[in-house]
Amino acid sequence: MNDDSSIQRLAAILRSEVARLGPGDRLPASRELVARHGVSPVTVSRALAVLAAEGRVVTRPGSGTFVASAPPARTGDTADLSWQTVSLGDRVIDDSGVAALLARPSDGVIPLTGGYLHPNLIPVKALAAAAGRAVRRASTWLHPPLSGLSGLRRWFATEVGGDVTSSDVLVVAGGQAALTHCFRALAAPGQPVLVETPTYPGALAAAKAAGLRPVAVPIDHEGVRPDLLAETFAVTGARVFYCQPTLHNPTGATVPRERREQVLAVARAAGAFVIEDDYARHLALGPMPPPMITLDGHGSVVYIHSLTKITSPSVRVAGLVARGPAAHRLRAAQLVESFFVARPLQETALEFLDSPAWRRHLAAVAAELATRRDALAGALARHLPDGDLHLLPQGGVHLWVRLPRDVDEAALVETARQRGVLVSPGRIYYPSEPPGPRIRVTHIAATHLPELSEGVRRLAAALADQQVAKTS
């Protein structure tokens, strides 16, 4: 029951329900609508999209669907856009996981989710000064080299180390764009791509949008298991493996050097590429193992190093490192999709990286990360003793918490939101069925340490609410 007629029937039912509600009232959750009306999640999504196009409802990622403030009266002049559901077909680009992570919290709500520095930690003055110096140069407004500014490519190559040279680097519009280029360039639609499980939701969304099939490879406290990686390559015939070996999102695991070499050996044997997403190298609290690409003499690794997490969400600049035919294809992919990264942004990034402010910023962020990580871990131990911390990572901005098996993860996240704290549900980090209830909490988005503690206290109260509801 997911054809156009069923969508229109459900939309008609929901119109009647909206008419009985007041502006701002919340509609039942999608899961409840699926059960109540015996339809598929796709049918519910498309019916709600019809009502949104009519201006009757608004959807807030992570919160739900609400009656619009002023639902318009249906007139003969209102365009009927329902035909689009037929023309667009069944392919869905699911942005729910990413949108929830990027959504801004409402006033009074404490964010224990998200992955960017709090505005107080963003080096706005230094970035503004760098931008000012950059835009005053006439050359900033000229056509940039297609692969990126030579100075910026050289900076990325030096940061990576090993035998990586500036000619191996392609400057792209941030880590997410790099993932999109990689998935589209290295695999064909319909093919499998191996991913750690759990893994970054943005990678899952990008892979699926490219028409790929993410396949889970289990990890432990030291990252992906090489034995299971080899087995999964053999079973699936996949030729691409996506991973975050340094301060893995969401668990915080870091793969030791010996295991990195084992992963590379497995990939070489399978004739496969390894997409190494090194998003958090500048968020480490101490020495980290070398990037896998510096251990790779076979051309297996395609390496991503983004500036966004350590600087600002708006510094959409990353270095994408590859060699051989893969490098040519990645350059071609960027060229046909977006030409190049805007030169003023590249010039600004290079100005900042070459200034003393860059090193001062790194030192300040490292000190803050250590303080915040310990504060969040301490608050979890005090207020949420039933939560099992996966590990205490040596950097990064997240903690991964396993909940008691009888906890309803989705209900807990919603109750926490109602109590004024946002956390990330574990299910969005899995390409297939989750092994049990999990949440990811972050310490970098809160304003200060007391707010962190208060956020965990609210989370614990939400868990207590759920436990009381079960016993009553």
Q: Which of 61-70, 76-85, 124-133, 457-466 has the highest mean pLDDT?
A: 124-133
- C-alpha–C-alpha distance, residues 338 and 144, integer Å: 13
Average pLDDT of span 399-414: 94
Residue 73: is its pLDDT beyond 70?
A: no
pLDDT classification of 44: cutoffs 50, 70, 90: confident
Question: What is the reported pTM?
Answer: 0.80
- C-alpha–C-alpha distance, residues 177 and 179, integer Å: 5
Residue 5: is its pLDDT beyond 80?
A: no
Average pLDDT of span 383-411: 94
**Cis (ω within 30 of 0) for the bond into 198?**
yes
Average pLDDT of span 391-411: 94
pLDDT classification of 305: cutoffs 50, 70, 90: very high
pLDDT of residue 72: 52
Q: The domain 138-354 is classified under which CATH number: 3.50.50.60, 3.40.50.970, 3.30.365.10, 3.40.640.10?
A: 3.40.640.10
pLDDT classification of 123: cutoffs 50, 70, 90: very high
pLDDT of residue 38: 85
pLDDT of residue 76: 52
- State pLDDT tens for residues 100-116: 667 777 778 999 998 89
Helix (H) / strand (E) element for 388: namely strand 388-389
pLDDT of residue 362: 96
Share of the chain above pLDDT 90, in %: 74
pLDDT of residue 91: 73
**Contact criterion met (CB below 8 Å) for 444 and 118:** yes
Tokens, residue 384: 């949420």
Q: What DSSP string describes 336-388? A: HHHSS--HHHHHHHHHHHTSHHHHHHHHHHHHHHHHHHHHHHHHHHHH-TTSE
Average pLDDT of span 75-96: 72
pLDDT of residue 448: 93
The angle at the Cα of 177, spanning 298 to 64, to the nearest 5 degrees, equals: 130
In this structure, what DSSP letter does residue 38 have?
Answer: T
pLDDT classification of 1: cutoffs 50, 70, 90: very low
Residue 71: is its pLDDT beyond 70?
A: no
User: Domain map of the chain by residue range?
Assistant: 4-92, 101-122+358-471, 138-354
pLDDT classification of 408: cutoffs 50, 70, 90: very high
pLDDT classification of 407: cutoffs 50, 70, 90: very high
**Cis (ω within 30 of 0) for the bond into 250?**
yes
Tokens, residue 350: 């290079």
**Cβ-Cβ contacts under 8 Å for 183 (sequence gap 6 or more):** 193, 206, 207, 210, 212, 240, 242
Tokens, residue 145: 């080299």
In this structure, what DSSP letter does residue 192 have?
Answer: E
Range scoring the smallest mean pLDDT among 71-80, 94-103, 401-410, 451-460: 71-80
pLDDT of residue 2: 44
Q: In the CATH scheme, what is the code of domain 4-92? A: 1.10.10.10
Give whole-number Cα distances, 435 to 11, 99, 303, 390, 424, in Å.
35, 24, 29, 14, 16
Average pLDDT taken over every residue of the chain = 91
Q: Which CATH superfamily is domain 101-122+358-471 in?
A: Aspartate Aminotransferase, domain 1 (3.90.1150.10)
Residue 161: is its pLDDT beyond 80?
A: yes
- State pLDDT tens for residues 170-217: 999 999 999 999 999 999 999 999 999 999 999 999 999 999 999 999
pLDDT of residue 52: 86
Residue 88: is its pLDDT beyond 50?
A: yes
Residue 346: is its pLDDT beyond 50?
A: yes
